[in-house]
Amino acid sequence: MSPKQSEIDRNLEAFIAVRSGLAATHAGQHALMRAGAVRGFYESALEAQRAGEQLFADGMFSVQEVTEETSDLGFYSHAIHLWPA
């Protein structure tokens, strides 16, 4: 498993553990995740991705939409390195 995939998996596990509490205050927003912790909330996935690129030059972060159900943004997390900063 690649380091990026390991980061995404760790972040998803951490997000699932706290999502019900986040949904009450951040529903519809996007969480920027790194090292198993929420690092910020943003109105769109693109805003969260841009913030992640600015904060984490190594690209080791993921984005998760805050909903009652888990959304799989794994492809988005993998594809994002193809977009210009």
| pLDDT value of position 20 | 87
Helix (H) or strand (E) holding 36: none
- State how many domains the chain has: 1
The two tokens of residue 77 are 């997390």
CA dist., res. 54 & res. 68, Å (int): 28
What pLDDT was estimated at residue 81? 44
pLDDT digits (tens, 9 = 90+) for 29-77: 999 999 999 999 999 999 999 999 999 999 999 999 998 765 555 544 4
pLDDT of res. 84: 46
Longest pairwise C-alpha distance within the chain: 34
* Residue-range definition of the domain harbouring residue 46: 3-82
For the entire predicted model, the pTM comes to 0.78
pLDDT at 70: 56
**The predicted structure's pLDDT at residue 68:** 76
